[in-house]
């Protein structure tokens, strides 16, 4: 029995390692080619490793990924995360713990946008933002995306449902209002799920391209993907070595990668808590 268990453990770790290497290879290839010279990048057959570290690619890429661009991306991503938390958490708590009529209908309305392609809502959302005077502003970059809380409501509601009703009832009997129950009792218990949702939402917002391209034509408000577009064959058609574009992509993905690595334990705990497997 012990031999079977050990064999299964070895098999499982081997498969996990192979899958991890396969998933990590594109990242490794991107970083490796970002240090190559133009001749090495265009070599046939493709090279796996550079002959040296060509930092000129990063110096050229930094002309597009300026500190202002990085700050814009940070402000937009953090603003979207904060707004989604402020809207999704109370809504999920109310739909899971506060008894009132039409709960199912309200839930259906909140979840319905998940089934509508983003391309269908792009123009109506832009028109609304234009009428509200949100063009070329941080509010225009943040509010329309931050107000899409369908996923957040589903995740947080699933977690709040797993909390014992007796916990809420005991607090209510002691005289606590609904806001006190939400803020002092259920919210601290939801920290792992909140952390997980925040990390995933931050990375998603960090990678936005289409909406920032539409709503913010002012170069001063450019985010990472918009700033990288010219050296990735975008609308400006600026010719540079592909290695420069890869260097810019490496610089752009680095903050999100660091955040993901730091938050690994929260991601595991949050998924377990959100699915009731903890």
pLDDT at 136 (0 to 100)? 92
pLDDT at 75 (0 to 100)? 95
Note whether 168 and 185 are within 8 A (CB).
yes
Per-residue pLDDT of the chain (278 residues; tens, 9 = 90+): 566 667 778 888 888 889 888 888 888 888 888 888 878 877 778 788 888 787 888 888 888 888 899 999 999 999 999 999 999 999 999 998 888 888 888 888 888 888 888 888 888 999 999 999 999 999 999 999 999 888 999 989 988 998 888 888 888 888 888 889 899 889 988 888 898 899 889 989 998 988 999 998 888 999 998 888 877 654 445 567 788 888 888 888 888 888 877 777 766 666 655 544 45
pLDDT at 271 (0 to 100)? 60
List the chain domain ranges.
55-274
Query: If you ran DSSP here, which 8-state letter would residue 116 be given?
Result: S
- Give 55-274's CATH code, choosing from 3.40.50.150, 1.10.3720.10, 1.10.3300.10, 2.160.20.70: 1.10.3720.10
Q: How far apart are CA 82 and CA 36, in angstroms?
A: 39
pLDDT at 239 (0 to 100)? 62
Q: Give exposure, 138-159, as e/b (b: 16+ Cβ within 10 Å).
A: eebbbbbbbebbbbbbbbbbbb
Quote the tokens at residue 173: 């009997």
pLDDT at 234 (0 to 100)? 41
pLDDT at 27 (0 to 100)? 85
Q: What's the sign of the alpha-carbon dihedral 250, 208, 223, 87?
A: negative
Q: What is the pTM of this model?
A: 0.84
Q: How far apart are CA 144 and CA 261, in angstroms?
A: 29
DSSP string, 66-108: -HHHHHHHHHHHHHHHHHHHHHHHHHHHHHHHS--TTHHHHHH
Q: How far apart are CA 144 and CA 84, in angstroms?
A: 10
pLDDT at 215 (0 to 100)? 93
Query: If you ran DSSP here, which 8-state letter would residue 235 be given?
Result: T
Q: Give the Cβ contact number of residue 243 at 10 Å.
A: 25
């Amino acid at each position: 029995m012990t031999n079977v268990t050990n064999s299964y453990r070895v098999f499982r770790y081997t498969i996990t390692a192979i899958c991890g290497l396969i998933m990590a290879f594109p990242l490794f290839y991107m970083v490796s080619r970002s240090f190559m010279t133009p001749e090495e990048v265009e070599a046939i057959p493709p090279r796996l490793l550079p002959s040296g570290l060509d930092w000129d690619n990063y110096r050229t890429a930094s002309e597009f990924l300026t500190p202002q661009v990085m700050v814009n991306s940070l402000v937009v991503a953090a603003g979207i995360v904060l707004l989604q938390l402020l809207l999704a958490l109370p809504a999920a708590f109310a739909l899971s713990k506060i008894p009132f009529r039409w709960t199912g209908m309200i839930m259906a309305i909140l979840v319905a946008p998940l089934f509508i392609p983003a391309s269908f809502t792009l123009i109506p959302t832009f028109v609304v933002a234009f009428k509200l005077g949100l063009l070329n502003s941080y509010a225009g970059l943040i509010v329309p995306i931050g107000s899409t809380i369908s996923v957040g409501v589903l995740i947080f509601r699933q977690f709040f449902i797993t909390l014992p009703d007796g916990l809420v009832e005991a607090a209510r009997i002691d005289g606590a209002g609904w806001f006190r129950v939400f803020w002092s009792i259920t919210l601290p218990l939801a920290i792992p799920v909140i952390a997980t949702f925040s990390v995933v939402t931050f990375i998603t917002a960090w990678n936005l391209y289409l909406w920032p391209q539409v709503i913010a034509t002012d170069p001063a408000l450019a985010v990472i993907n918009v700033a990288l577009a010219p050296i990735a064959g975008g609308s400006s058609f600026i010719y540079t070595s592909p290695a420069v574009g890869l260097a810019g992509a490496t610089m752009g993905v680095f903050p999100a990668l660091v955040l993901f690595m730091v938050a690994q334990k929260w991601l595991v705990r949050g998924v377990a808590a959100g699915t009731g497997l903890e």
